[in-house]
């Protein structure tokens, strides 16, 4: 009865919340003191798919809030490495990570990243960015591909030869053409749907290994 008085949106929100709190990865993240369940998507790629991050690596984390990927990356690169994270949202400081609050898809965001890199080329670019969902599938898809194109452009400017890129994307319009573009710049491309990525979500990850170009 009580449910009948709730709006459709409220019912959807409480169904999402119920699923969220009962999600095994949410529980694991809580137990292990991680900032987000998203960390398990990255660790699967690191452990099983050959995303190679070594001590001393330079890694750029696009769409880094609330910070679970950056926290993990710091452990891999150690004190001689450099992690730079950018997000639209503010986040609590992470030791060893240079955090930038800006829109990656703006001149301001690009300049802030360039300044933080201070001329160093990048070993790995990771992106967990997704656009804010409008509810219109085609609009959201085009925005996602737009972020993917920006990520590839950034990677092609800053990656060292042999470097890697990992980015979230959605299957749909524009995806095939984008994957071909990625394939021209990297020796090997993998599609990855990590176990921690909800089956109901359209997201998956593209891993590009072995950047062919040279950092500018």
Using CB under 6 A as the criterion, which residues of the chain lie in contact with ligand SAM when the complex forms? 35-36, 38-39, 63-69, 86-89, 103-105, 128-130
Q: Within 10 Å of residue 88's Cβ, how many Cβ atoms?
A: 14
Considering the candidates 9, 30, 79, 168, report the single residue annotated as catalytic: 168
Q: 53 and 77 in contact (C-beta within 8 Å)?
A: yes
CB of 150 to ligand SAM, least distance (A): 8
Order the strands of the 122-127 sheet from edge to edge: 97-101, 82-87, 58-62, 122-127, 159-170, 203-211, 186-192
Q: Supply φ then ψ for residue 96, to 5 degrees.
A: 90, 0
Helix then strand then coil, % of the chain, to nearest 5: 40, 25, 35
Between 106 and 181, whose beta carbon lies closer to ligand SAM?
A: 106
Whether omega for the bond prior to residue 66 falls within 30 degrees of 0, making it cis, is yes
CB of 212 to ligand SAM, least distance (A): 26
Q: 141 and 170 in contact (C-beta within 8 Å)?
A: yes
Between 37 and 156, whose beta carbon lies closer to ligand SAM?
A: 37
Between 10 and 103, whose beta carbon lies closer to ligand SAM?
A: 103
CB of 16 to ligand SAM, least distance (A): 15
Between 4 and 200, whose beta carbon lies closer to ligand SAM?
A: 200
Burial of residue 12, with CB atoms counted within 10 A of its CB: 0-12 exposed, 13-18 middle, 19 or more buried: exposed
Residue with smallest beta-carbon separation from ligand SAM: 63
DSSP 8-state class, residue 35: S
CB of 140 to ligand SAM, least distance (A): 12
Question: Active-site residue 168, yes or no?
Answer: yes
CB of 163 to ligand SAM, least distance (A): 19
Catalogue the E-assigned strands of 34-156: 58-62, 82-87, 97-101, 122-127
Between 82 and 143, whose beta carbon lies closer to ligand SAM?
A: 143
Residues annotated as catalytic are 168
């Amino acid at each position: 009865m009580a449910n009948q008085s709730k709006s459709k949106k409220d019912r959807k929100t409480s169904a999402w919340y119920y699923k969220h709190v009962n999600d095994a990865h949410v529980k694991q993240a809580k137990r292990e003191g991680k900032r987000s369940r998203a960390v398990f998507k990255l660790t699967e790629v690191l452990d099983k798919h050959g995303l190679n991050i070594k001590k001393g690596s330079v890694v750029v984390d696009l769409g880094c809030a609330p910070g679970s990927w950056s926290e993990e990356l710091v452990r891999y690169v150690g004190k001689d490495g450099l992690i730079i994270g950018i997000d639209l949202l503010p986040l609590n400081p992470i030791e060893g990570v240079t955090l930038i609050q800006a829109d990656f898809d703006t001149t301001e965001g690009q300049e802030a990243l360039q300044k933080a890199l201070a001329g160093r080329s990048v070993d790995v670019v990771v992106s967990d960015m997704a656009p804010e969902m409008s509810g219109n599938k085609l609009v959201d898809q085009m925005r996602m591909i737009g972020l993917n194109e920006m990520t590839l452009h950034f990677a092609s400017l800053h990656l060292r030869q042999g470097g890697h890129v990992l980015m979230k994307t959605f299957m749909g319009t524009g995806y095939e053409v984008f994957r071909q573009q990625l394939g021209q710049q990297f020796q090997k491309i993998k599609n990855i749907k990590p176990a921690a990525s909800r089956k109901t979500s359209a997201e998956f990850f593209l891993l590009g290994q072995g950047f062919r170009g040279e950092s500018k």
